[in-house]
Structure 1
Amino acid sequence: MFNPPGLVAILAYDGLCTFEFGIAVEIFGLPRPEFDFPWYQHRIVAVDPSPITATEGIQIVSGFGLDSLCEAQTIIIPGWRRRDETPPQALLDALRAASDRGARLVSICSGVFVLAAAGLLSGKRATTHWRYTRELAEKFPDITVDPNVLYVDSGQIITSAGSAAGIDACLHLICRDYGTHIANVVARRLVMAPQRSGGQIQFIPSPVAQKPRDEVASVLEWILQNLHMNLSVQQMAERAVMSERTFLRRFKEAMGTTPKAWLLQARMNLARELLESNALLNEQIMEQCGFQSMESFRAAFRKSAGVSLSCYRKTFGGNRPVDSAPAADCFSPAQ
């Protein structure tokens, strides 16, 4: 059903960031008996001689060194011990070689500084924890640093923001390999939302609200139950029992994005799941997702997923044809 995504190598180093490391091991190394298809192979690769001493004195022993990265299809860099330290030359050389042969590289939080030091982000867009974005931009001016997003997918390289955003990036990679439904299953096991709305800008310190935005949460639930409707911001504001101007402000404070942007993403998430089920015509999916024309639906989906409806269905929805429309060229989605 799925092409095996191969070996995921997770780097371990002295001073290892254990939370970021744990994210990668949990997602790619944990057995998945709930799936009847091959999951990722997984290996811990030592950057420094074993045993590796992580934060708080935790020790990790690995029988694999940097020479084993030549077998990896995906390499995870879970943070880095010091942003002002030049990573070992052997590590930089191994990452360049992996990139040259087409391996995927994923950095979590400060791990982006390793990719930058290897010269692999030159001319590319990337992100890291909001506390480090200015430092990254100043130290590597040839990188376009986006401080507001949870992760950036440039195809072969994925960079994520602060620690927990590594979960978002890893789930996104699973979505690329297996589709939205499988990523959602993994997210549920993590007790994690499959796709968080907004970017890390919502986590940058700001004045604390006097009370929780329960009215916004209730509107979100109502929206998800009515995605087939032609919803307007005015309707959302009326549902929240507040003026449109007030609703827009409170929604942005709570979600880090606008109601229209959040609604569109919710529609696209539903479209992906329905396409993967391969049970409905594109016109039926269009209606359930609240679009008024196939042209606007196709354009919105391509912009969101990076591929056409037919290409996405062919990749993740099995082989049973349900749409007679001609297929467009496929290409790797990028965020």
Structure 2
Amino acid sequence: MMRTRLAPIAVVVALLFGAAGCAGDSSPRYDAASPTPKPGASAGGADSSGTSKPAVPSCNPRASLRPTGALPAPGQMPAGTWMAEIKKRGRVILGTSQDTLLFSSRNPFNGKVEGFDVDMGRMVAQAIFGDPNKLQIKVIGYDQRVNAVLKGDVDLVADTMTVNCARKVDVDFSSIYYDAGQKVLVKKDSTAKSIEEMGGKRICAATGSTSYDNIGKVNSNPPPIAVAKPSFGDCLVAFQQNEVDAISTDDTILAGMEAQDPYAKVIGNRITQEPYGMAISKQHPEFTRFVNAVLEKSRQDGTWAKTYERWLGGKAPQPPAAQYQ
């Protein structure tokens, strides 16, 4: 198939996906200046520099802090809480990307960052202020999501961010608000039905992402060849220029890519489970409980379902059930 004609599409998609990647950073405090990690590296082992990492404590990644009592009325946040500080400041600061179509991408017509993840932040702003527009978007790199919370640059992160035990060492997470899973994007004429049928093929993922790690864990002989790029936008350009044979990351992100490239398709079943939560500072457990109460209300009053149908289309499934510790 001739694909050189896709160069203009690659440019457009690169602009839409921007410089930041989307899938999970595999290290809680990923250093973009460090050497490229080896695919399949796991917590508790050695990283690409040979340095031994401490073992990650086991946990139930889906379990979050239980809400306490009813939500306070908008504008009436309890004194001494982080919600009161946000109210005093006048806005919720949400960390997210501007390049994940359907979840958090910049609208080319009005310049606003919008999507499913952004609306999760808007629900929190509505609960605090009675106004969902009291939300400041701070665009952050996918490899800086945990760091943005640790440094206090944002109140919370909603950015197709997988909750796992490694990240929970550094930050708290809300209850799960979306269940995704890793799949593979291939050329339209590919005969492969799953990633296991792509032994020896070059599969791209963002440097430092859990998606990159997972490619190295695929059980095939020969195994697929993991190719690292700075972002998934770069992966898509490489894919369209025949530098790689496929891209693998969360199905939510691949859906946006597929929508942009008529010569691509997503194949196979999910090879991982990727539960999304909002990352919040461990210094503000009352804020995590508050956010969980907001999410619980959205499940019960239909707001979650309306948000799903607005951005993802079709009839909304049941939202992920909250689990608490």
Identify the TM-score tier after normalising by the shorter chain.
under 0.3
TM (norm. structure 2) is 0.22
More helix by share: 1
Higher relative contact order (CA 8 A, sep 6+): 2
TM (norm. structure 1) is 0.21
